[in-house]
Structure 1
Amino acid sequence: MGCCSSKNADSKATRVNRWRSTGIVALRDSKLKTFPDDILDLDGSVRTLDLTHNRLVEIPMDISKLINLQRLVLADNLIERLPINLGKLQYLKVMTLDVNQISTLPDELGQLVRLEQFSISGNSLTHLPETIGSLRNLVLLNVSKNKLKFFPESIGSCFSLEELQANENSLEELPSSVCSLVNLKSLCLNSNNLKQIPSDLLTDCKALQNISLHNNPISMEQFQQMRGFQEFESRRRKKFDKQIDANVMISSKGLDEGVDL
């Protein structure tokens, strides 16, 4: 019995030492219901934390101890809310919270000023905080499969945003501020309630190469009559021509992806 306990202790110590030396904690599919204290005790040693596909209901306030955390992956859990202390993770660059039960985001989200990728698809969000506009380094935002009816005006301040995915929501309109997203390349809005999009979107978002509006009450004719459509179409075709020239395998559906209505 004592021998077995000793082996377990050694195994635990070995695991903690590995986490400390690599900076990577990966406990996928471990049936966890709470955050292991061993992780929180590592403080500044952890750079990547992946607890995908567990049974976590909450993120502890003490997560703020992981001051050097850069990647936080908590997809496929039972998390209902985010702690305000999350905003103290000042080095966080990637946060993945897909397939949880989150209905609101704290205003402190805006304190994650180094965040580059934020994915929270498959939750129950009804709105995004105005503070999301403080995420000036955000490149990818995925809020698909939620219950959003609108975006805050502040979304236009996410100047680095290149890809915005908001499929399967209840969006009825887009704020005019999205026209300020000059680096936006891909806008995915399938299965919403959009009857129109901002009239200056195609003229102001000169990097835009892909718009997907399938299953919305907006017609292809409406889209083609927008100012800047020809320029957008030229960028779209140029993008796919480059892929073909580089021998990238794409399907016929892929060729139509740029204007999916």
Structure 2
Amino acid sequence: METIEREPNRMAQAVANVARRINATMEEQRDSLDLSDCGLVSFPDGVFKMIRSCTDNIQKISLANNQIKALSNKFFLTFTQLREVDLQGNVLTTLPEAVANMQHLISIDLSRNKLRVFPERLTDVSSLQHISVEGNQITDGRRCGRNIQRVSVRKFEAEPQRNLKDV
């Protein structure tokens, strides 16, 4: 009986933690939202509603070290001013099509996820300067497209940083 009672309590604490972080971002008019290490399996719909008034101010979001399986198009269509996205340490296998519309995105960290194929939609993001995909199981870097060779890509921890054309 104790373990059954602990689980809802843990979930309630996680929800309260997310709400506190969102409120702090809004009250302090921060340009970043840190929801790392919150035990999330997806980006909560409630966050879109809570933060609706300041999405244009958000330039950096960290969702690192959660259990996020997928992000919706809505995420990238809502946070259009993002310059940095930290998604490391999740279980993402792909990115939604809307990531291609991120006109201000400079850096995206996708390290330690479950990617098997390089997210080709990132090749459409002309502002992108840094992509980290180390710790994934990407087997064919040649499928990333020619127009992303200007981007610094980190593929494996043991290898030095290099341009995508070298991958």
Structures share a fold, TM > 0.5?
A: yes
Match of 1:15 in 2: none
Aligned to 2:124: 157
Give the Å deviation of 1:32: 4.0
Cα shift at 1:34: 2.1
**1:151 Cα deviation after fit:** 3.1
Counterpart residue type for residue 119 of structure 1? D
Unaligned ranges ≥5, structure 1: 1-30, 49-69, 192-208, 214-222, 224-260
Q: Structure 1 CA distance, aligned partners of 2:129 and 2:96? A: 20
AA aligned to 1:80 is: V
Residues 1:169 and 2:136 are matched in the alignment: yes
Confirm or deny: 8 A CA contact 1:128 1:151 kept in the other structure.
no
Please state how far the C-alpha of 1:71 moved relative to its aligned partner.
Answer: 0.5
Distance, in Å, in 1 between the alignment partners of 2:156 and 2:22 is 39
Please show how residues 115-126 of structure 1 align to structure 2 within 5 Å.
115-126=82-93
State the shift of 1:163 in Å.
0.9
Note the C-alpha offset of 1:72.
0.5
The question of 1:81 aligning with 2:42 is answered yes
For 2:73, the equivalent position in structure 1 comes to 107
Tell me: CA distance 1:175–1:155, structure 2 relative to 1, closer, same or farther (3 Å).
Answer: farther
2:94 maps to 127
Alignment of 1:109-258 (within 5 A): 109-111=75-77, 112-174=79-141, 176=143, 178-181=145-148, 183-184=150-151, 186-190=152-156, 210-211=161-162
Task: Determine if contact 2:21/2:33 at 8 Å carries over to the other structure.
Answer: no
Per-residue CA deviations over 1:110-165 (Å, capped at 9, x if unaligned) read 21221001011111111111111111211111000000111343211111111110
Residue 35 (structure 1) aligned with residue 16 (structure 2): yes
**Who is 1:72 aligned against?**
33
How far the C-alpha of 1:77 sits from its partner, in A, is: 2.1
Q: Aligned residue for 2:8?
A: none
Shift of 1:171: 1.1
* Identity in percent: 21
For residue 40 of structure 1, report the CA deviation from its aligned partner.
6.4
CA distance in 1, matches of 2:100, 2:142: 13
1:97, distance to aligned residue in structure 2 (A)? 1.1
1:92 alignment partner in structure 2? 58
Gap change, CA 1:133 and 1:83, over 3 Å in 2: same
String of CA shifts for 1:150-200, please: whole Å, max 9, x gaps. Answer: 13432111111111100011112236554323642x211117xxxxxxxxx
Deviation of 1:42 after TM superposition, in Å, equals 7.8
- Relative to structure 1, is the Cα distance of residues 177 and 42 closer, same or farther in structure 2, using a 3 angstrom cutoff? closer
| Alignment correspondent of 1:53 | none
The 8 Å contact of residues 71 and 93 in structure 1, kept in 2 or not, is answered as yes
Instruction: Give the number of equivalent residue pairs.
Output: 146
Which structure 2 residue ranges, 5 or more long, are not aligned?
A: 1-11
Query: CA 1:211–1:42 in 2, change beyond 3 Å: closer, same or farther?
Result: closer
User: Counterparts of 1:124 and 1:159 in 2: how far apart (Å)?
Assistant: 26
| Residue in 1 that maps onto 2:29 | 47
The structure whose residues are more often helix, as a share, is 2
CA RMSD of aligned residues (A): 3.2
Offset of residue 94 of structure 1: 0.4
The 8 Å contact of residues 136 and 157 in structure 1, kept in 2 or not, is answered as: no
Distance 2:67 2:132 in 1: 19
